[in-house]
Amino acid sequence: MGEKYNAFAFWAAYPAWLSYDANFGEMEQIVSNLLSKVEVRKSWTPDLLGHFGGGLVDFQLPTSGGDQFQVSLTSEVDAGVVGKQFAYFRSPLRFPLSSDFPSTQEVQVSENHGRPLPENFEYGRKLRRYTVPDTIKWGTPGVLATLSFGRQREKWHIAFRSAFSQRYLSSTLPFVLGYFTPQSDGQWRFEEYLRSTVPDLIFQYARGGGTSWSMGYKLSKSLSAYLEGIAFLNTLIRTSRQFASYINPEISTTEKIDIFYPTFHIHRSYLVLLRPTVAYHNQRGYQFKLQAGAFIQAHDIPQNGAMNYAEYPGTTEYSYEHQLYGPSEIFAQVWTSRARASQYYLHPYMEKKWGSAHKWLQLRIGGWYSAENQKFSGRQLGFMTDTLNGGPNVLDASVYHLSNIRDVYAPANIRPGGWYLIERTGDFHRHTANTDIVAGYGWLRAGISSQVEMMIGSRYEMWSRKIYYQPIVSDKDALLMQQRTAHLLPAFLIKYHFGDRHILRSGANITLLRPPVASQVPLPYFDYYWVIYWQGNPQISTGMGYNIDLKYEWLRSKDNVFSFCLFYKSLQKIPEIYLVPESYALVYVYSTRQRRWGEIVGLEMEFRQLWWSNEKSQLWSYTTVTLSESGVEQAAWSKIGRLDGRLQGHAPVVANAGIFFTRPRWEVGCFFNYTSTQIWAVGFDPYIFPHVLEERRLTAEAQVSYRIARHWEIRLAIWDIINQPYRRTQRLANADSFKL
């Protein structure tokens, strides 16, 4: 739910949400060089879709600014992965899973009839080669290559960009588990029984690239046509070996059992967008545009799995951990999934402007139709060696080292029966959602005088969604849920000029908090990285946001600007993630629910200053700070900032600062960012059970650029020199530990 206040969009059209972990994975991996700029919109206007959520990150594609041709090459090094081992998938452009596997019914039939049937082994032989990716020993420096091309002529223009990116990253992740026991004074005491560490770093390998373009042609003085688009592909691989220890009273009350979990994750995603546009305008001030769009998305996880091993007290070899999970459980778990989404939309509108330079009237009337389809197909499978006695297989400890982990599947380690495939797929692993939006809008802008401008408008939006699923015992779709809503969303803006340099503007509007499909499907999706389950909730429905802001701007000059904004948001029926109470004794299950009400109040400041300048050099800086709070409804200052009062995905403090010195050939700059802690998921008891947090982040970047010649420039940069990258952690203890 982390994006419910700041949505992503291309030209104000929203891509589908395909992930189950509160992220747009496709957006996080996009190569930013394919874009011309990224706009952050804080105010809603009726031409945008209703699920604005209080903010919008809008990706804009390049447009031609004249003739240009540019090639750039950048290399990136993460010191944690140089000379280390990490996963590498050999064919990043080929989909790694075949489509000729036996049906789920065939695999299930073979599960409970003694020894596995032949088709079970055939399935296992086909799938096991994808369970562990190949490894290589060296993490070479990453690379980012970009090519830009543009041409501008009297009747036509073209802008084209292509980019390729490859990165190697590393990180660590601690994990602690325990019990809570009540005390006589009413407090709770936490008793740890499992602590997990990562002796080897968690390695990540990412490769992506794509193309973006913008073309336009003037058919006549009044008629023009445009074609814009972007296409990119990403592959992400992560591997880790986490070590843990715990006390099992059935074995020993004093000696800990050592266990570790090799985990592997591969996923691939792509996104293709096309937007043709026809624009007409005449000398009388009428303007008409027809925009059409097509999104095609895919998000594939051909392999996501974990294996559980233990070294018991008094032994020296590793074996499958059957004391914790039981001898009948599976040896290795694998999750595979394929998600597809498409969206097609039409957006026609007409504008007309009347009046003079200071007193004018502008009318826009438009419509919107979009049809979206999302299809998800997942399999949850298990592997177990079929031994003579039916018990777990015992292997030499060296097999499980990260460099030798693929040897688990060597023929010498397969017992007489081969690999036994166990089906763990559920009903909702295969589901489809169809979403339709029909809307009409209009606004009226007016210049009252040289000092006052106003806008009043509204949007009426109808939204319907049907979600179907395939039960595991059938191939026929069954209806899970159906929703239909309609909302009238008004908006008002006013701007007042205090002379030439001072502006005061205010706005008020109503927007929607529309739930993604993933939050409504009750799919028990297992996340091996966090060792928890995700599960949606069909009862989640559309929420509302009531927004108001007041902003003052002091435009001292082109390079010297100061602005100050106060804002307030009242949110109703907010989606959030919580820990299901019945799951705390086993594997954690996080599900979605709706919070009845919440609010955010805050201020935002921006400061840009040119400190010194002459004919050849200048020194300038900028600073932006946002301070906001979502726990004011508790009406007690001592509680503000507590997790039980805060909203998910909300950072109370966000600050950016930069300072730059430029000369004709040189540029030196520093950039700083601070983002405070955010809630990602909460427990059913906010004072006791685990909260998953986005930890606070403080990063910095230092950069030096030197122009060697007219067409050549060399650049050196060091980033993240202050603190760690963005990470998630779990906190748990008593209520005092939640004060941030």
Bridge partner residues of 581 (DSSP): none
**49 or 415, which is more confident:** 49
Which of 377, 244, 386 has its CA nearest to residue 300?
377
- Dist. CA 459–CA 465, nearest whole Å: 19
3-state secondary structure of 603: strand
Tokens 């007042």 appear where? 496
- Dist. CA 712–CA 223, nearest whole Å: 40
What does the pLDDT look like over 10-24, one tens digit per residue? 766 777 766 654 444
Which of 188, 322, 189, 192 has its CA nearest to residue 259?
322
- Dist. CA 688–CA 736, nearest whole Å: 10
- Say if residues 673 and 655 touch (Cβ distance below 8 Å): yes
> Residue 700 pLDDT more than 80?
yes
3-state SS record for 436-472: EEEEEEEEEEEECCCCEEEEEEEEEEEEEEEEEECCC
What does the pLDDT look like over 37-80, one tens digit per residue? 878 787 889 999 888 876 777 888 877 666 778 888 888 888 77
What is the reported pLDDT for 207? 85
**480 or 105, which is more confident:** 480
Secondary structure of the chain: what % helix, strand, coil (to 5)?
Answer: 10, 55, 35
Which of 291, 171, 283 has its CA nearest to residue 227?
291
Strand 666-675 relative to strand 697-709, pairing: antiparallel
Half-sphere exposure of 465 (CA within 13 A, CB side): 24
Tokens 């694998």 appear where? 334
> Residue 375 pLDDT more than 80?
yes
- Dist. CA 473–CA 452, nearest whole Å: 66
Identify the weakest region by mean pLDDT among 288-292, 346-350, 470-474, 525-529.
Answer: 525-529
- Say if residues 418 and 373 touch (Cβ distance below 8 Å): no
- Dist. CA 582–CA 206, nearest whole Å: 37
The pLDDT-based confidence of 388 (bands split at 50, 70, 90) is: very low
**598 or 194, which is more confident:** 598
**541 or 25, which is more confident:** 541
Taking residue 610's Cβ as centre, other Cβ atoms within 10 Å add up to: 15
Half-sphere exposure of 278 (CA within 13 A, CB side): 7
> Residue 643 pLDDT more than 70?
no
> Residue 467 pLDDT more than 80?
yes
- Dist. CA 734–CA 124, nearest whole Å: 46
What is the reported pLDDT for 368? 96
- Dist. CA 477–CA 357, nearest whole Å: 60
What does the pLDDT look like over 221-276, one tens digit per residue? 899 999 999 998 888 887 777 677 777 777 777 888 877 767 777 778 888 999 99
Q: Return the percentage of the chain with pLDDT > 90, whole number.
A: 27
Phi/psi class of residue 281: alpha, beta or left (left: φ > 0; alpha: ψ in -120 to 50)?
A: beta
Q: Return the percentage of the chain with pLDDT > 70, whole number.
A: 69
Range 396-424 average pLDDT: 61
Tokens of 525: 């999706």
Range 721-733 average pLDDT: 55
Bridge partner residues of 188 (DSSP): 182
> Residue 90 pLDDT more than 60?
no
The pLDDT-based confidence of 27 (bands split at 50, 70, 90) is: low
> Residue 449 pLDDT more than 80?
yes
What is the reported pLDDT for 442? 97
Range 485-493 average pLDDT: 96
DSSP string of 125-190?
Answer: HHHHTTTS--EES--PPEEEEEEEEEEE-SSEEEEEEEEEEEEEEEE---EEEEEEEE-TTS-EEE
Range 544-552 average pLDDT: 93
Taking residue 35's Cβ as centre, other Cβ atoms within 10 Å add up to: 17
> Residue 556 pLDDT more than 70?
yes
DSSP string of 384-408?
Answer: EE--TTS---B--GGGGSGGGGGGG
- Dist. CA 172–CA 243, nearest whole Å: 12
Mean pLDDT score of the chain: 78
What is the reported pLDDT for 347? 95
> Residue 736 pLDDT more than 50?
no
Scored b (16 or more CB within 10 A) or e, 561-581 reads: bebebebbbbbbbbbbbbbee
Strand 419-423 relative to strand 430-447, pairing: unpaired
> Residue 422 pLDDT more than 80?
no
3-state secondary structure of 519: helix
3-state SS record for 414-434: CCCCCEEEEECCCHHHEEEEE
Bridge partner residues of 436 (DSSP): 371, 464
Half-sphere exposure of 180 (CA within 13 A, CB side): 15
What is the reported pLDDT for 15? 75
- Dist. CA 133–CA 135, nearest whole Å: 6
- Say if residues 702 and 717 touch (Cβ distance below 8 Å): yes
Alpha helix stretches (DSSP H) within 246-381: 322-325
What is the reported pLDDT for 710? 73
Highest mean pLDDT among 119-128, 360-369, 620-629: 360-369
**534 or 387, which is more confident:** 534
> Residue 705 pLDDT more than 60?
yes
- Say if residues 602 and 564 touch (Cβ distance below 8 Å): no
> Residue 676 pLDDT more than 90?
no
